[in-house]
Amino acid sequence: MIQLRVLVSLKTSVFDPQGRTTLEALHGLGYKAATALRQGKSFLLTFEGIGEDEAKRQAEEMAARVLSNPVIESFKIERVA
């Protein structure tokens, strides 16, 4: 079994309304040292019956084609298990 995590987040050039709203709430709670917050999505993919290279290739394809929108988002993939 191979588990890969796909992390999708808005590109740094794109304004993140949810991230900003959450950061403002944190500031309101006194966490003044936090100066930036970017929200994203995490997808944990479990593969069976294929090797790590093929799992990564498929995850890459899914991330580029479906899980992220390349117009506004970027992604990275990491091995979890």
Task: Check binding of 10 to other proteins (CB under 8 A).
Answer: yes
Residue 44 or 51 with smaller CB distance to other proteins: 44
Query: What's the angle, vertex CA 54, arms to CA 64 and CA 10, rounded to 5?
Result: 20
User: According to CB under 8 A, which one of 26, 45, 72, 77 is a site residue for other proteins?
Assistant: 72
Q: Which of residues 31-70 bind other proteins (CB under 8 A)?
A: 66-67, 69
R_g of the chain, CA atoms, integer Å: 16
Please pick, from the candidates 15, 28, 48, 81, the single residue that binds other proteins as defined by CB under 8 A. Answer: 15
For other proteins, the binding residues (CB under 8 A) are: 10, 13-18, 21, 66-67, 69, 71-72
